[in-house]
């Protein structure tokens, strides 16, 4: 009969405990290094799949919104380019007077005086006020003011004063116009190229 002494038995238990410990450490390491990250990756993939599925369901609405926003952006970009083309690099009040004179003549409005003020630098552009005195029928003044916005040069009416006529049908008029020039910032050179072309 084989009898195992106490020392061998203790050694066997120690080997058994070491094996159990190695198994537990291996299982814990496997769980923390392989299983847990895999579960996390699976959860992330599932969330991404749900997100993509929802995006796919919303794709027609997103495309429609994109088309609307893209069209609006094209419109705004075109309008900005149109305005930039109407703003010359310098004040050139003489050229503006020539345009005003032609417009006034076409509308049968008599311009008597033309006073350009000092140019003023603003943020991103410069402007100059121009005061003009003239006379014409009420219809010709209204038509003149309406057509000012259609000039190739960007301007606005800051002030318009009409007086009642004394004896004739011509109304004395004083108008303060603002003309813009010397745009600054990006895309200005592109606009100037478009004006030349």
**Domains in the chain: how many in total?**
2
Q: Are residues 68 and 108 in the same domain?
A: no
Q: Are residues 35 and 53 in the same domain?
A: yes
Pair 109, 147: CB distance under 8 Å: no
Mind listing the pLDDT tens digit of every residue in the chain (197 residues)?
567 788 888 888 888 888 888 888 888 887 778 777 888 888 898 998 898 888 888 888 888 999 999 999 999 999 988 888 888 888 888 888 888 889 999 999 999 998 889 999 988 889 999 999 999 988 999 999 999 888 888 889 999 999 887 777 888 999 999 999 888 875 555 544 555 54
The first and second tokens of residue 134, run together, are 């003239």
Q: What is the pLDDT of residue 71?
A: 95
**φ, ψ of residue 150 in degrees (nearest 5):** -100, 0
Name the domain boundary from 54, 85, 116: 85
Q: Are residues 97 and 140 in the same domain?
A: yes
Q: Is the pTM of this model over 0.85?
A: no
The first and second tokens of residue 18, run together, are 């070491």
Pair 40, 31: CB distance under 8 Å: no
Q: What is the pLDDT of residue 69?
A: 95
Q: What is the pLDDT of residue 92?
A: 84
DSSP string, the chain: -----HHHHHHHHHHHHHHHHHHHHHHHHHIIIIIHHHHHHHHHHHHHHHHHHHHHHHHHHHHHHHHHHHHHHHHHHHHHHHHHHTS-SS--HHHHHHHHHHHHHHTT-EEEEEEE---EE-SSSEEEEEEEEEEE-HHHHHHHHHHHTTSSS-EEEEEEEE---SSSSPEEEEEEEEEEE---STTHHHHHHHHH-
Q: Are residues 7 and 74 in the same domain?
A: yes
Domain span at 183: 93-196
Q: What is the pLDDT of residue 197?
A: 46
Q: What is the pLDDT of residue 12?
A: 84
Q: Are residues 66 and 19 in the same domain?
A: yes
């Amino acid at each position: 009969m084989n009898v195992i002494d106490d020392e061998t038995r203790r050694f066997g238990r120690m080997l058994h405990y070491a094996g159990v410990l190695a198994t537990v450490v291996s299982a814990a390491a496997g769980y923390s290094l392989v299983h847990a990250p895999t579960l996390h990756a699976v959860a992330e993939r599932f969330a991404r799949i749900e997100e993509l599925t929802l995006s796919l369901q919303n794709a027609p609405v997103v495309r429609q919104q994109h088309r609307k926003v893209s069209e609006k952006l094209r419109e705004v970009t075109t309008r900005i380019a149109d305005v930039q083309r109407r703003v010359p690099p310098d004040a050139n009040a003489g050229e503006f007077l020539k345009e005003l004179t032609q417009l006034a003549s076409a509308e049968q409005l008599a311009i008597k005086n033309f006073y350009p003020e000092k140019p003023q630098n603003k943020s991103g552009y410069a402007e100059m006020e121009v005061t003009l005195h003239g006379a014409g029928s009420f219809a010709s003044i209204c038509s003149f003011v309406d057509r000012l916005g259609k000039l190739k040069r960007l301007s606005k009416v800051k002030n318009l004063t009409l007086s009642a006529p004394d004896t004739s049908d011509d109304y004395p008029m004083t108008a303060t116009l603002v003309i813009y020039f010397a745009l600054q910032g990006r895309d200005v050179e592109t606009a100037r190229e478009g004006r030349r072309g």
